A and B are shown apart, each in its own frame.
Chain A
């Protein structure tokens, strides 16, 4: 505790000596993660409109997450569905690398929908059951072959190796 008090005293003395230092310290605090934190859930209609304007949305488009303790304050529910991969690559986006326009709000789960994540942007060629049956067919075909060939082994035409043992006689083919 004494170290903390001494540090505060030192900071006060330094600020008194040079007021520019205090200004620089306050400037450096800008852009902290606390500044990205959404505001509390809007309760009145006026607060809702203010929040919609803050996120550059029309009031009828603005739908915040449910205020059940697991939501994101006044952050709107946007994006989702098919990922960024599904967006038009040829549209003149303001940020083509993210396929995003200026002030366009992004999903709260943006890291799940960005282009470096898996998404199924196109309809598959065949139905899912067709794929399942293909898989089952190939696997059961392989298994059937495996069990059918289990007692049909390839082998070299040689007799068992002869090891000397008590009471066992082995012979060459010489006289």
Chain B
């Protein structure tokens, strides 16, 4: 958890916990693929999905829960759906880590530019 120590020692170039990226998302990119939300609001409401699960993986969670209720008690048959959902969540987490690192590097770049100017 070196980031916590860095956040104390160098707070100007270390983003805090759960940082919301402050720079232009297209900075340094020619083009960037937009994330697509597949599950609709009506679908999520009809399955009473908790608010914290209404992320970009919601459609996979809905498929997994539907499979569970169809196949119960033989829920091992939903291993594929479960794996797909957990992989989606993992990739979402990796994306968050990348966003944090991008924010940190851009903060350092900003500091460097400010010093040069």
**Chain A residues with a Cβ under 8 A of chain B:** 152-164, 169-175
Contact = CB atoms under 8 A, between A and B. Distances in A.
Interface in B17-34: 17-21, 25-26, 29-34
A163 B8 contact: no
A174 B30 CA distance: 11
A150 B92 CA distance: 29
A164 B25 CA distance: 16
B96 A159 contact: yes
Contacts of A159: 15, 18-21, 96-97, 99-100, 103
Interface string B56-67: 100000000000
Interface of B: 1, 3-4, 7-8, 15-21, 25-26, 29-35, 37, 54-56, 92-93, 95-101, 103-104
A164 B3 CA distance: 27
Contact of A163 (B15, B30, B54): B54
A161 B1 contact: no
> A153, A157, A164: which has the most chain B beta carbons within 10 Å?
A157
Given A162-B95, A163-B54, A173-B98, A155 B1 contact: yes
Contacts of B100: 157-159
A147 to B, nearest CB: 15
B55 to A, nearest CB: 6
B55 A152 contact: no
Nearest 9 A-B pairs (CB), nearest first? A155-B17, A159-B99, A164-B37, A158-B96, A171-B32, A157-B3, A170-B35, A160-B18, A174-B33
30 contacts: A152-B8, A153-B4, A154-B4, A155-B1, A155-B17, A155-B18, A156-B1, A157-B97, A157-B100, A157-B104, A158-B93, A158-B96, A158-B99, A159-B19, A159-B20, A159-B99, A159-B100, A159-B103, A160-B96, A162-B56, A162-B95, A163-B54, A164-B35, A164-B37, A171-B25, A171-B26, A172-B32, A172-B95, A174-B32, A175-B32
Decide if the interface of chain A is mainly helix, strand, loop or mixed: loop
Contact of B92 (A152, A162, A171, A174): A162
Given A157-B100, A159-B96, A171 B20 contact: no
Contacts of B20: 159-160
Contacts of B15: 157, 159
B97 to A, nearest CB: 5
Contacts of B55: 161-164
Given A155-B16, A159-B20, A162-B55, A173 B96 contact: no
